[in-house]
């Protein structure tokens, strides 16, 4: 084999990498293929002009080597590879240069036609996009280069490894490459970076080729002294993005020539059962050593644990020193997260990969809170332009309502908004409107109707003026029974009032009121349509169904199938909130969530807040056996956070089948419940203190109040801190006895009361403290929970973004409805259901 190397003017790092590949990979690969995309030397060369397809590199190598004479250190490297000035080397090098020197348009297309990556068997293909990547964005023509690279990589045989090199500012390129490789389905991907401005990617879709390159990278990371340029921390960080190459069941190789399909094809994780990993086994053994240890003992043994078991991020303090674990537990949990390929999954999430396998969808709700200039791609298309355009429409709509330009059918301004939706189309905005009530704009009341029980809608409409009421029908699918039934009834209510009011309206007209006279030349149906157009808006991914309902497209705010219902607050589903607090505040909510997205994506695992909360949940659930988790906001404004989290956490991770369809070997989402302190101290706290069950608790409190009445907030905080402390330490027999004696109780009284006065304690808790409850901090908090849920899904190997478990009941309800209505001659097949229906029939 021969090594020939072509250098260009900025080859210092490149040479280092080639050196690394050659030195470490020569036994594995027969050929080094070097593919520069823009190399001025080549462009101007005679070979470049005459034969773009394949070169004899000898002229270049001798030219390069002679130039190296002037750089003794570089020459040493050449020599160490066995290269000579004649160009002898351990590798055969082929050179392809697809770009600049062969022009553009048809010429280039022809070139690519003749370019056959399939021919490289057992090769290291060193792909040097150089400036070819510099201007890559997800839109317009510049993307072309990216897709050509994709095409190239998808056609590369499985026995070969592609190495993509880029010496542009590192983070951006790591992201570009991460995006590319994830979308390409390369399970064996390493992204290494060094010297802060170089990104380097090795790709392999074959496990053994992959593991050889991984070994090379690890070598490199482990031998910093040999490579003084390497910033080991950066390299290790980048390596943590590496998908596991050597794990037992590698994914099947990518099918050839199926690029389009590939993009849609779900990627299968290599890891199938986390309980079989070494990290899990170590954790299980470690849990045994902690069993029976009381939090009192843990604090006594390690006075520094408070400082070590906490995280602070953008003003949020997460204190988990009262969890039943030690700093060592955290280290072991992080090892488990590495086994679960956490960093790779985070990259996949943000890259827009269709990680919701069973629905073949991406989960890109982070794009909804993206800012101008951000790029979030699905199938290579940047979704941000449409997200921003819809956000601008929301802003305009809110301004029209707030400034009374939006008027009802009698030309009155809007005073009441009723959101009709359920699940993710209700819980988020309902919770957030209440949470941010302190920031509410005056003059507009928000109402939420979700339940199919008429009591919900009827009670809400009581006292509302149809002429001043705006309905928002929020439904991702626009097929949900509850929402459609409520929306139809609301429409009837409005139209009845509207038609009755027509007499008055005519009167107004006759007496000179400024009102649209054309309304009265219309048919009844046209009039009704006009009334609906003034009083109904819709939010949905199913725009045509909303239009069919009678809502004009101008009042329909779309969102997209890559937004899960329970992750949709940030989309137009947040409209009721934007109306309540104004669009500027709503954008603050998005900004807060965006900050948490950045943190989740970029923070190292040990300081990563969502990941840490996920690991705590996993520890409590799978190693301590907790079946539930209590969410305890010490904030009346956050009273609806527990129900919101019930959907977010339990609909996402309440699953016992992993993403590959296999039964989970461990427990998944605990039952989430809770309610606001201090109320709940007077309802269920008794059980937390003395019920004998393990219930990990999550306290949430704010340093400053959102509504300030003198003395209240400090009392609230005192209660919060007292409860978590009492739950942790309890009161043992001696303390209880001493308290009773101090209260002057007689000895026989003490003996009788003592068992009732003992608090076992050792109830684990985390306390989240926020500076205050405002739109920004709420956005951060909710995104924190979203990412925690995702991280837990990764750890358990679940798809957190589908919800098949809610379907069966819906189908059966549809079958039973005609039977209950008496419109169906058949009866229910189940005897119990039959008995229940028979009872109901007696009402007639």
Phi, psi of 208 (to 5 degrees): -75, -40
> For ligand F6P, which is the closer residue by CB, 505 or 571?
571
List 370, 423, 592, 779, residue binding ligand F6P (CB under 6 A): 423
DSSP labels, 803-815: -GGGHHHHHHHHH
Q: Is 89 in the site for ligand F6P (CB under 6 A)?
A: no
**Pairing relation of β-strands 198-204 and 188-194?**
antiparallel
Specify the pairing of strand 697-702 against strand 628-633.
Answer: parallel
Least Cβ distance, residue 432 to ligand F6P (angstroms)? 15
The yes-or-no answer on residue 810 being catalytic is yes
The residue from 651, 689, 698, 713 that is catalytic is 651
In the block, residue with structure tokens 């990498």:
17
Please tell me whether residue 476 binds ligand F6P under the rule CB under 6 A: yes
Q: Is 487 in the site for ligand F6P (CB under 6 A)?
A: no
The b/e string for 543-575 (b: 16+ C-beta within 10 A; e otherwise) is eebbbebbbeeebbbbbbebbbbbbbbbbbbbb
The yes-or-no answer on residue 682 being catalytic is yes
Taking the C-alpha atoms of residue 796 and residue 789, their distance in angstroms, rounded to an integer, is 11
Binder of ligand F6P out of 160, 419, 460, 475 (CB under 6 A): 475
Closest contact distance (angstroms) between CB of 316 and ligand F6P is 27
The residue among 216 and 782 lying less far from ligand F6P, judged by its C-beta, is 782
Q: Which stretch binds ligand F6P (CB under 6 A): 70-78, 423-431, 609-617, 657-665?
A: 423-431
- Smallest distance, ligand F6P to C-beta of residue 541, A: 8
Q: Tell me whether residue 425 or residue 505 sits nearer to ligand F6P (CB atom).
A: 425
Stretch of residues binding ligand F6P (CB under 6 A), selected from 277-285, 469-477, 579-587, 753-761: 469-477
User: In 3D, which of 545, 594, 595 has the Cα closest to residue 570?
Assistant: 594
| 806 touches ligand F6P (CB under 6 A) | yes
Bridge partners, 319 (sequence order): 310, 767
Residue 653 as a binder of ligand F6P (CB under 6 A): the answer is: no
Shortest reach from residue 348's CB to ligand F6P, in Å: 22
**254: nearest Cα among 341, 298, 189, 306:** 189
Please report the beta strands in 457-520, taking only residues with DSSP state E, as ranges in sequence order: 469-474
Q: Report if residue 480 touches ligand F6P, rule: CB under 6 A.
A: yes
| Cβ(730)–Cβ(663) below 8 Å | no
d(CA 672, CA 699): 13
Interface with ligand F6P in residues 784-803 (CB under 6 A): 803
422 binds ligand F6P (CB under 6 A): yes
Residue whose CB is less far from ligand F6P, 218 or 359: 359
Can residue 429 be called a binding residue for ligand F6P (CB under 6 A)?
Answer: no
Write down the least CB distance from residue 417 to ligand F6P, Å: 18
Q: Does 724 bind ligand F6P (CB under 6 A)?
A: no
Which span (30-38, 471-479, 600-608, 672-680) binds ligand F6P, by CB under 6 A? 471-479
**Residues 430, 209: Cα–Cα separation, whole Å:** 52
Q: Angle of helix 327-339 relative to helix 278-290, nearest 10 degrees?
A: 160
**25 near ligand F6P, judged by CB under 6 A:** no
**Rounded least distance, CB 614 to ligand F6P, Å:** 21
Phi and psi torsions of 639, nearest 5°:
-60, -30
Spatial distance between the Cα atoms of 337 and 619, rounded to a whole number of angstroms = 12
User: Binding pattern to ligand F6P, positions 742-761, x when CB under 6 A?
Assistant: --------------------
- Tell me: does residue 575 bind ligand F6P (CB under 6 A): no
**Binding span for ligand F6P by CB under 6 A among 422-430, 437-445, 508-516, 690-698:** 422-430
Identify the residue among 98, 424, 605, 779 touching ligand F6P (CB under 6 A).
424
Preceding amide of 616 cis, omega within 30 = no
Give the separation between CA 406 and CA 554, rounded to whole angstroms. 13
d(CA 387, CA 371): 10
Q: Does 348 bind ligand F6P (CB under 6 A)?
A: no
Q: Determine if 655 is a binding residue for ligand F6P (CB under 6 A).
A: no
For residue 644, what are the contacts with CB-CB under 8 A and spacing of at least 6?
A: 427, 428, 430, 431
Residue 288 burial (CB count, 10 A): 10
| Binds ligand F6P by CB under 6 A, chosen from 77, 183, 566, 594 | 566
Rounded distance between C-alpha atoms, residue 115 and residue 125, angstroms? 13
Q: Rule CB under 6 A: is residue 652 a binding residue for ligand F6P? A: no
Beta bridge partners of residue 318, listed in sequence order = 311, 768
Residue linked to tokens 């992201």: 175
User: Which is nearer to ligand F6P, 422 or 589 (by Cβ)?
Assistant: 422
| Least Å from the CB of residue 556 to ligand F6P | 14
Query: Residue 550 interacts with ligand F6P (CB under 6 A)?
Result: no
Given the residues 49, 116, 441, 810, select the one marked as catalytic.
Answer: 810
Cα–Cα distances in angstroms (integers) from residue 538 to residues 291, 420, 421, 479, 554, in the given order:
54, 9, 10, 13, 10
- Give the whole-angstrom CA distance, residue 506 versus residue 599: 59
654 binds ligand F6P (CB under 6 A): no
Which CB sits closer to ligand F6P, 452 or 750? 452
The site map against ligand F6P for 381-420 (x = CB under 6 A) is ----------------------------------------
Containing H/E element for 125? strand 123-128
Among 62, 265, 386, 477, binds ligand F6P (CB under 6 A): 477
User: Closer to ligand F6P at the Cβ: 421 or 633?
Assistant: 421
425 binds ligand F6P (CB under 6 A): yes
User: Binding of ligand F6P at residue 565 (CB under 6 A)?
Assistant: yes
Is 526 one of the annotated active-site residues of the chain? no
Note whether 348 and 185 are within 8 A (CB): no
Separation between Cα atoms, residue 717 and residue 700, nearest integer Å = 10
Residue 250 or 429: the one with the smaller Cβ distance to ligand F6P is 429
Q: Which of 70, 106, 663, 682 is the catalytic position? A: 682
Residue with Cβ nearer ligand F6P (546 or 613)? 546
As to burial, measured by CB atoms within 10 angstroms (0-12 exposed, 13-18 middle, 19+ buried), residue 625 is exposed
Least distance to ligand F6P, CB of residue 476, Å? 4
Instruction: Find the shortest distance in angstroms from Cβ 472 to ligand F6P.
Output: 12
Q: How many residues bind ligand F6P (CB under 6 A)?
A: 14
Token pair of 814, please? 């549809």
Q: Is residue 6 a contact partner of residue 57, using CB atoms and an 8 Å limit?
A: yes
Burial zone of 324 (CB within 10 Å; 0-12 exposed, 13-18 middle, 19+ buried): buried
Comparing CB distances to ligand F6P, the nearer of 477 and 732 is: 477
Q: Report yes or no: 17 and 107 within 8 Å, Cβ to Cβ.
A: no
Spatial CB neighbours of 615, under 8 Å, sequence gap ≥ 6: 330, 333, 334, 336, 337, 791, 795
Under the binding rule (CB under 6 A), the answer on residue 537 touching ligand F6P is: no
| Residues designated as active site | 651, 682, 810
Task: List interacting residues with ligand F6P (CB under 6 A).
Answer: 422-425, 475-477, 480, 483, 565-566, 651, 803, 806
């Amino acid at each position: 084999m021969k090594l020939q190397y072509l250098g260009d003017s900025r080859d210092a790092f490149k040479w280092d990498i080639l050196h690394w590949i050659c030195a470490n990979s020569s036994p594995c690969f027969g050929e080094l293929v070097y593919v520069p995309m823009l190399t001025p030397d080549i462009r101007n060369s005679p070979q470049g002009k005459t034969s773009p397809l394949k070169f004899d590199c000898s002229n270049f190598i001798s030219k390069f080597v002679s130039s190296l004479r002037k750089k003794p250190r570089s020459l040493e490297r050449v020599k160490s590879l066995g290269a000579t000035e004649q160009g002898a080397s351990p590798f055969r090098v082929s050179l392809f240069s697809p770009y600049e020197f062969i022009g553009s348009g048809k010429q280039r297309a022809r070139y690519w036609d003749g370019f056959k990556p399939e021919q490289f068997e057992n090769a290291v293909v060193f792909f040097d996009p150089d400036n070819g990547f510099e201007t890559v964005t997800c839109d317009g023509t510049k993307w072309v280069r990216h897709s050509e690279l994709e095409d190239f990589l998808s056609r590369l045989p499985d026995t070969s490894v592609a190495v993509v090199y880029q010496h542009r500012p590192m983070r951006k390129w790591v992201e570009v490459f991460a995006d590319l490789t994830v979308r390409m389905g390369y399970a064996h991907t390493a992204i290494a970076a060094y010297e802060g401005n170089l990104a380097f990617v090795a790709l392999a879709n074959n496990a053994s080729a992959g593991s050889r390159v991984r070994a090379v990278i690890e070598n490199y990371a482990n031998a910093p002294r040999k490579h003084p340029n390497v910033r080991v921390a950066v390299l290790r960080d980048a390596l943590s993005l590496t998908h596991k190459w050597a794990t037992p069941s590698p994914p099947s190789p990518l099918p050839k020539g199926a690029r389009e399909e590939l993009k849609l094809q779900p990627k299968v994780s290599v890891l199938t059962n986390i309980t079989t990993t070494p990290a899990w086994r170590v954790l299980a053994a470690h849990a045994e050593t902690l069993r029976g240890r009381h939090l009192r003992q843990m604090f006594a043994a390690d006075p520094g644990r408070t400082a070590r078991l906490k995280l602070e991020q953008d003003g949020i303090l997460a204190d988990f020193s009262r969890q039943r674990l030690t700093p060592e537990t955290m280290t072991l949990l992080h090892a488990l997260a590495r086994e679960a390929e956490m960093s790779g999954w985070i990259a996949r999430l943000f890259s827009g990969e269709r990680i919701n396998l069973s629905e073949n969808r991406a989960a890109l709700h982070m794009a909804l809170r993206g800012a101008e200039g951000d790029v979030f791609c699905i199938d290579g298309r940047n979704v941000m332009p449409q997200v921003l355009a819809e956000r601008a429409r929301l802003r305009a709509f809110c301004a029209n309502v707030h400034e009374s330009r939006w008027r009802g059918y009698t030309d009155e301004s809007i005073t009441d908004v009723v959101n009709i939706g359920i699940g993710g189309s209700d819980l988020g905005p309902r919770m957030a409107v209440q949470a941010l009530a302190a920031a509410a704009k005056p003059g507009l009341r928000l109402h939420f109707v979700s339940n199919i029980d008429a009591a919900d809608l009827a009670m809400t409409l009581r006292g509302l003026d149809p002429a001043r009421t705006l309905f928002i029908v929020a439904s991702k699918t626009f097929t949900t029974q509850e929402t459609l039934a409520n929306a139809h009834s609301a429409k009837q209510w409005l139209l009845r009032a509207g038609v009755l009011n027509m007499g008055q309206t005519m009167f107004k007209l006759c007496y000179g009121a400024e009102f649209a006279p054309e309304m009265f030349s219309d048919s009844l149906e046209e009039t009704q349509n006009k009334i609906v157009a003034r009083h109904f808006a819709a939010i949905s991914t199913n725009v045509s169904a909303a239009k069919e309902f009678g809502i004009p497209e101008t009042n329909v705010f779309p969102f997209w199938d890559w937004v899960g219902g329970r992750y949709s607050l940030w989309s137009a589903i947040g409209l009721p909130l934007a109306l309540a607090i104004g669009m500027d505040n709503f954008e603050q909510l998005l900004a807060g969530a965006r900050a948490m997205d950045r943190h989740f994506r970029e923070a190292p695992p040990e300081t990563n807040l969502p990941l840490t909360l996920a690991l705590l949940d996993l520890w409590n659930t799978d190693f301590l056996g907790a079946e539930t988790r209590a969410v305890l906001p010490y904030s009346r404004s956050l009273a609806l956070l527990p129900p919101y989290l019930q959907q977010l956490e339990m609909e996402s991770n309440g699953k016992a089948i992993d993403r590959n369809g296999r039964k989970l070997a461990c427990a998944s989402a605990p039952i989430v419940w809770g309610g606001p302190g201090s109320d709940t101290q007077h309802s269920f706290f008794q059980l937390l203190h003395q019920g004998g069950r393990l219930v990990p608790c999550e306290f949430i409190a704010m340093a400053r109040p959102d509504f300030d009445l003198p003395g209240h907030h400090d009392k609230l905080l005192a209660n919060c801190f007292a409860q978590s402390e009492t739950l942790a330490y309890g009161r043992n027999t001696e303390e209880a006895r001493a308290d009773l004696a101090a209260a002057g109780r007689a000895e026989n009284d003490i003996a009788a009361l003592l068992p009732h006065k003992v608090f076992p304690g050792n109830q684990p808790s985390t306390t989240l403290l926020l500076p205050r409850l405002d739109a920004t901090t709420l956005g951060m908090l909710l995104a924190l929970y979203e990412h925690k849920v995702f991280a837990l899904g990764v750890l358990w190997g679940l798809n957190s973004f589908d919800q098949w478990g809610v379907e069966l009941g819906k189908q059966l309800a549809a079958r039973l409805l005609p039977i209950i209505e008496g419109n169906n001659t058949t009866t229910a097949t189940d005897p119990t259901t039959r008995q229940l229906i028979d009872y109901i029939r007696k009402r007639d």
